[in-house]
Amino acid sequence: MSQPSDADVVPPGKPPLVRLVKGQEVNLGCGALIIIAIIVAVCSGTGRTDLSPVLNRLDKMEQRMQAIEKKLDELSKKPER
């Protein structure tokens, strides 16, 4: 009967999430993680948000600001009494 190595011993009370056979361990590099993130972003549909309500509100705010600026210009041109 073989003795378990130190790597196979699990601290009491905390079972491992996944038990891997020696040689099944996976090491992901930075490039692999970036590729996975890009695939997830493309497949999850991010970037398809509808910004038209926000753009409409920005347009209305821009119009209001232009009206305020115009009014300020008119008031600053009036001669003082």
pLDDT tens digits, residue range 50-64? 778 889 999 999 999
- C-beta neighbour count of 59 within 10 angstroms: 10
Identify the residue with better confidence: 14 or 77.
Answer: 77
* φ, ψ (nearest 5 deg) of residue 16: -70, 150
pTM as predicted: 0.39
pLDDT of residue 77: 87
The two three-digit tokens of residue 37, written as one number: 């993130």
Res 5: pLDDT:
58
Mean pLDDT confidence for 7-31: 70
- Residue 8 — very low, low, confident or very high, per pLDDT cuts 50/70/90? low
Residue 81 structure tokens: 């009494």
